Structure 1
Amino acid sequence: MWKKVAIITIGSIFILSFVHLYFISQLEFDYEFENFFPIGDKDLTFYQTFREKFENDNDYLLIGFENEPDIFEYEFLQKVDSFSNALEASDHVVSLTTPTRLFNPVISPAGLFKLPVLHIDDPSRYPQDSSRIFKERKWVGSFFAEDGKALALVLKHTPLIQKPAADSLVQTVDRLAANYRLSPIFLAGKAKAQGVYINKMKTELAIFLSISLVLVTTFLILAYRSVWNVLVPLGVVILSVIWILGIMGIFNKPLDIMLVLLPSIMFVVAMSDVVHLLTKYIEELRQGLTRLEALKITLKEVGLATFLTSLTTAVGFLTLFTASIKPIREFGLYTAMGVFVAFILAFSLLPAILILIKKPPVVKHEKNRRRWLLFLMRSFNVVLKNYRLIFTLFLGIIIVALIGISRIEINTFLLDDIPRDDPLRKEFLFFDDKFGGYRPLEIAIEVKDSSKNVLDWEVLEELQKVENYLLEHYEAKNMLSPLQAVKSLNQALNGGLLAYFNLPDDQRLQKKIKKNLRYLKRSNADVKLFADDYKTSRFSGKIRDIGSKLSLERNATLNQFFQSDIDSTLVDLKITGTSLLIDKNNQYLTQNMIEGLGIAFLVIAVIVALLFRSLRMIVIALIPNIIPLMVVAAVMGYFGITLKLSTSIIFTIAFGIAVDDTIHFISKLKLELDKGKSLLYALKRTYLSTGKAIIITTLILAAGFLTLILSSFGGTYYTGLLVSLTLTLAVITDLTLLPALLLLFFKKRKT
């Protein structure tokens, strides 16, 4: 009967596995910048409305070129102009603003005339043109670099462009630049970053899968030294990865920068389940039991503990669902599902295979067992003799950790996860250094007085205050607003003279400008400035990527300026845009992390309470798992590792996995105590019987996560490094502090 059940189980699992393989083939990679906006935030709702009226502030590609000794060279400017002509006719290009076609408008009774900023066909005028450009300053920092050795083009592409179209656009830009021998070329924008990120994700997924496979195989060979004992658990682990990826395919969930970690995590988590089951099974076979008897005892004694550890690990990941960021939520959800998939396969497929195959060779390894027993005996004796000292030492560690924790900063940059020497980051930093930044700045303008609009002089005077503030405190570049448009119109009505690029005080000139509003549309860039019959408008520009911490501080000061210096009865101003929304993620980090850990602590407390029905035991079980988190947080503080989107998940993941060792330890302790043993005897038996498994599984998990340090993404690197460190610290506390706490505070039972 058991063989029949085993055959049906194996057959069903393999049929389902082929279904999952089909859906894996449908999986795609995705890096949607907008997915990282905080869900449910009122500023997101506002921005979505703002975007419908105007445009997405991320639908731009910045293109930069350098030239020596400077850009005012005939051949170079001709190549840039030809490149611009060819690019403008390409797919996905809405408009292109290029320095070779910039002009100053002049309005006369005869109509509108466009005076070129650069006379690219007449090199004799280059000295005069360059002198005027840097004297007027109107285009410097936006299209012309301060040092005169670089220029920038602004390409507006189709809205919310997806990867295939983005890749095509970037390839077109690179190809045309090569055709016109324009090198080096610098690109910045979502269309560029999206392709690079996804290509990196694909490469790293392949690397992580390969390393994880090698790591698991190597461990199995070293641990069991048998073909069957390697191939069978390896098959279970691989199928666990296939199933969870297949489930993602079924739900049409693409792999993003977070979920690329999933296969590596599944390898080590599934391996942990398999090791516990197989090790106990082989141990029972060593006692001379039959396969079926050994399997029944294994499922009975290991099943509950492994289920509880799977539960705690899944809860650790599920707590990420409290985050306000969609990719983190989905990462937590699918990884938690994967943990249970691994548990189900380990306790269905593996027993079924063990029933059907011949009895695996059981090597006694007496010498190895004696070494482990001697090591654990010595360790336990050290703890027993020094448990008060151990408790005191950990109190000192807590104090040092609290100091380090106080030094943690919450901060992130738009390309924080990309190494400084990466070509993508260098290209983006080029625009930070040469053109005042690539980070969008958006401020929504809404006229409150029903009798006025954004072109009334009282409103424009208020906007002038805002512009002055942005220039002084934000160093904003490439700024567009109704104010800029009206100033340009005033200059155009006065022969294009720079002295008239301002708001005139003369009422006669004001009336003249109002009569010529038909020329108001900015001809040098296709940017929508007005909506709702001129009742709403925008300040739009670029600033340097100064980091979310400083940016949020500046935004808070700017909001105070709006309240104190701007007439709120006349005009309402609100900071918005994609940069603000990414920055706001950091405001949720601490809250999300505390909520997630709180839920995890609660679940662990419930499990311990069910086992021991003791509040004191709940505290004893939690402390050894909280201290490693505190130490890792202190490491972040002392070494300047900032808390950001990618590192905030470390604590909940690490806690959910690290607590598994504690669950195994106290579950075994409970079994010994239920036999009527004294605390000291039960603790010794628990220490000697679980110590090896706890150490080995921790080594597997830590090594598995440590492979992530090979990632070129900073967040993935620190996730691997810090989770591995947390797991290592957790096993140390479980084998030192946990027994010490039990000896000090647990209510002792008599024999």
Structure 2
Amino acid sequence: MERLADFIISNRRPVLAIAVILVIASIYPVLNVEADFSLEGFFPENDPTIEAYQLFSEEYGRDDNVIAIGLSHPDVLEDAFIARLRELVRELEDIDNITDVLSLLDAQRLRNVDGRLVAEPFLNGEIADRQALMEEITADPFVQGLFISNAADFTAIYIAIDEDQNNFPVREQIIGDLMHILSAQNGLEYYVAGIPYFRNQYVNVLNSEIIFYISISSVLIILLLWFLFRNVQGIVIPILIVWLTILFTVVILWASGGYFEILTSTIAPILLCVGVADSVHMLSKYRDNRMAGIEKPPAVRESLIVLGSATFLTSVTTAIGFATLLTSNVVPMRTFGLYTAIGVMVAYVITIFLLPNLMPYFKDTSPGGLPGARVHNAIGNFLQATFRFSLRYHKAVVIGTLLATVLIATGISQLRVNGFVFDDVGRDSPLIADSYVIGERLSPQFPLEIIIDTGQDDGITDPDLLARVALLEEKLISYDEIERSRSLTTLMKQIHRTMQPEEAALNPLPDARTLLAQYLLLMEITDADALDQFTDFTYSQIRVSAQAHDAGSWRMNQIRAELLDFISDTFPNESITMTGTTILVADLTDNIVRSLASSIGLAFVFISLIMAWLFRNFKLVIISLLPNIMPLLVIAGVMGYFGIEIKPSTAVIFTIAFGIAVDDSIHFLARFRIESRRGRTLIDAVRVTTEKTGRAIILTSAILLVGFGTLGNSEFDSTMYMGQLVSITIFTAIIADLFFLPALIYWFKPNMRALRGEFPIKGV
């Protein structure tokens, strides 16, 4: 480390010049980073769930490219309102990248004209008998709940986005044009919803909030740094380092083809809090050196040499904790883990290269009168007290801490995995309020699709099959969470009622293959597009399409299990595929659980190996791992007790918690090893370590608490829980490292002679 330190210090100007050039070069990439997210993006390309969804989309179209516009009016069948609706539809059709606009104007009735099946618009000319029309139109299963409410006081327009252009910039353009048109509709009460709308609005609001909280956290961290260090260098250098870390990490994200989505948007506030730790440790060491009477240049060099290797080790272990998410099947978790790990290492590189070279530009006072000495001494007094307490009551501390951890960890039994389509936003959030209005006035917005494949051409012309499909539809709508099921059976019932009303009164479904084939032919001639919604080209499949509320993956998995049991009994000879947005969310939960368990387990393996190599002492390896397990158990228990569910955004909190916890314990044990090599007794080594490293632990923990604590007031559940739970982690880690860890050392009494062997990392 000495050579690297001398190289960095002796090349101050070239290092700073390179930093300035990199900052200037980063302006364009940062301004051009894209933001987007989709449920499909949570799965690998070859995942069976995605393959099923893509096959369905190719045959029947996507279910995530439609924006719904709800319109409220006392009478949507009123002539004046219909005229206004026509004009609004014409304006919407002129929006670029829109392929279709459907409304009540497109609703059609089927009629029998001299033995021919004819489809004609419900709203064709003036309305002669409004009451009769309302009864007819609200009784139509393909119109009621889609285009009109039962009371005829609410209708909806659906605009379909070009599937090849369904990306964030295009959606922004469409939403902008849409809102411009709607805002000009004076006196018209409207609501906007749909997955494309939610995606973009979610990203926009989330990014705005992230920027807001980064700004607030930065201000609070600056105030805290001033309180702790009471000089300009103690403020400017750490803040500059974390801002540059965020900047360069975003550039790497852009250069590698990444973009901001649900999880990567949270990388910035994490790096803001975590990235400041290295510089605070080095500044604390520098202040200790200055207060010990060491001149400024040697104090800078000594800080870099002594802590360069230790901070490298803590950065590596933190990065490993995040990088283990690369084993996840959940794609955004992999992306989050990769770029956060990169950001942690970027913070380290910036710290060791810039901090020593920026120090000469700041004035320093004499050692005896350094600003912040009062805070420095107060922290020292507290640490001496913790040392004496842990020494005197070490067995009680260990037993009490373990019992408290186990007690809190019992909450894990109540922990539940549950994800929503509209995740991380409350029901009262303006972001999704319109969606709930449309769902309540018409029908829910989230499709549950079931494909019944007979495996043979014209297989759907079996009357028994249609009768069994009718039973499936009855089963679907028996759930409170599912509404408005439609299928080929629904269509055949309507045609049968139109063509043979007397026969249909006795038997709602046609009971002969020939009659079914005839109806299919009539529908091909009359409205082939309507038929294509419910069957494939060869007539071998039947599509059952239901609308589901955003009930959560936990409940939907229960419903799916019951439905699959029912389907296996009802359709023993047909192959069944269940897909749609609700299924994507439901399947995501299993991936999260597996990914979380494997990544945390893998992180423990890697950290254990590093500890074994670092200390080469079995007792110290055990001692080092126990304080790192505590915060994870506490977080899981707290989540269970308070009903905080595991989902993509909260699952990564465990990784963040592990990364934070392991940092301080490694700093503590590394310093303990140094003091052991200096010939100190076990008690003296712990005392010095507690006083010296404990001070840096308190300072970095205070900064982390301020940084993450501000996130606890966020409107987004993911950001709020991150702030609250990580703050609990930090507090738990302080207790573990300053009380529990020393007490463990006293109890286990590791061999001090073995600890005085050569340290694996030179310069520590």
The answer, yes or no, to whether TM exceeds 0.5 is yes
What SS does the aligned partner of 2:650 have? coil
Match of 2:417 among 410, 419, 428: 410
Q: How does 1:269-308 map to 2 (within 5 A)?
A: 269-308=274-313
How much does 1:303 deviate?
Answer: 1.3
How much does 1:361 deviate?
Answer: 5.5
Match of 1:262 among 260, 263, 267: 267
1:444 maps onto 2:448 in alignment: no
Q: What are the superposed Cα offsets for residues 438-465 of structure 1, whole Å, 9 maximum, x if unpaired?
A: 11111123222x3643234343333233
Match of 2:389 among 382, 389, 412: 382
What SS does the aligned partner of 1:516 have? helix
Q: What are the superposed Cα offsets for residues 676-724 of structure 1, whole Å, 9 maximum, x if unpaired?
A: 3222221122112221111110111121122223433211111121112
What SS does the aligned partner of 1:347 have? helix
Give me the identity figure in percent: 29
CA distance, structure 2, for counterparts of residue 296 and residue 683 of structure 1: 25
Asked if structure 2 preserves the Cα contact closer than 8 Å seen for 1:489 and 1:519, the reply is no
Q: How does 1:351-750 map to 2 (within 5 A)?
A: 351-354=356-359, 362=367, 363-364=369-370, 366-448=373-455, 450=456, 452-473=458-479, 476-494=482-500, 499=505, 502-505=508-511, 509-510=515-516, 512-519=518-525, 521=527, 528-568=533-573, 571-749=574-752
Report the equivalent of 2:760.
Answer: none
Question: Which amino acid counterpart does residue 40 of structure 2 have in structure 1?
Answer: E
Cα gap change, 1:526 to 1:56, in 2 (>3 Å): farther
CA distance, structure 2, for counterparts of residue 170 and residue 747 of structure 1: 65
Report the equivalent of 1:320.
Answer: 325
Question: Which amino acid counterpart does residue 713 of structure 1 have in structure 2?
Answer: F
Match of 2:342 among 337, 341, 346: 337
Cα gap change, 1:687 to 1:39, in 2 (>3 Å): farther
Q: What are the superposed Cα offsets for residues 420-453 of structure 1, whole Å, 9 maximum, x if unpaired?
A: 22222111111332223111111123222x3643
What SS does the aligned partner of 1:646 have? helix
How much does 1:268 deviate?
Answer: 2.1
Report the equivalent of 1:170.
Answer: 175
How much does 1:478 deviate?
Answer: 4.7
CA distance, structure 2, for counterparts of residue 378 and residue 260 of structure 1: 41
Report the equivalent of 1:208.
Answer: 213
Cα gap change, 1:397 to 1:600, in 2 (>3 Å): same
How much does 1:15 deviate?
Answer: 1.7
CA distance, structure 1, for counterparts of residue 80 and residue 726 of structure 2: 55
1:144 maps onto 2:148 in alignment: yes
Question: Which amino acid counterpart does residue 63 of structure 2 have in structure 1?
Answer: D
Superposition RMSD in Å: 2.8
How much does 1:664 deviate?
Answer: 0.8
What SS does the aligned partner of 1:420 have? coil
How much does 1:586 deviate?
Answer: 0.7
CA distance, structure 2, for counterparts of residue 105 and residue 85 of structure 1: 25
How much does 1:520 deviate?
Answer: 6.2
CA distance, structure 2, for counterparts of residue 580 and residue 288 of structure 1: 66
Report the equivalent of 2:20.
Answer: 14
Which range is displaced more, 334-343 or 370-379? 370-379
What SS does the aligned partner of 1:736 have? helix
Question: Which amino acid counterpart does residue 136 of structure 2 have in structure 1?
Answer: R
CA distance, structure 1, for counterparts of residue 570 and residue 483 of structure 2: 23
Q: What are the superposed Cα offsets for residues 138-163 of structure 1, whole Å, 9 maximum, x if unpaired?
A: 63333332454322333333216223
Cα gap change, 1:62 to 1:304, in 2 (>3 Å): same
Match of 1:5 among 7, 11, 35: 11
5+ residue gaps, structure 2, are 1-5, 757-764
CA distance, structure 2, for counterparts of residue 310 and residue 511 of structure 1: 69
How much does 1:472 deviate?
Answer: 2.3
CA distance, structure 1, for counterparts of residue 476 and residue 526 of structure 2: 23
Which range is displaced more, 128-137 or 599-608? 128-137
1:61 maps onto 2:67 in alignment: yes
Aligned residues: 745
CA distance, structure 2, for counterparts of residue 224 and residue 357 of structure 1: 13
What SS does the aligned partner of 2:647 have? coil
How much does 1:343 deviate?
Answer: 0.5
Report the equivalent of 2:51.
Answer: 45
CA distance, structure 2, for counterparts of residue 531 and residue 137 of structure 1: 21
What SS does the aligned partner of 1:424 have? helix
CA distance, structure 2, for counterparts of residue 510 and residue 35 of structure 1: 41
Asked if structure 2 preserves the Cα contact closer than 8 Å seen for 1:240 and 1:270, the reply is yes
How much does 1:378 deviate?
Answer: 1.6
What SS does the aligned partner of 2:260 have? coil
Cα gap change, 1:206 to 1:549, in 2 (>3 Å): same
5+ residue gaps, structure 1, are none
What SS does the aligned partner of 1:151 have? strand
Asked if structure 2 preserves the Cα contact closer than 8 Å seen for 1:39 and 1:326, the reply is no
Cα gap change, 1:146 to 1:310, in 2 (>3 Å): same
CA distance, structure 1, for counterparts of residue 420 and residue 389 of structure 2: 47
Cα gap change, 1:271 to 1:120, in 2 (>3 Å): farther
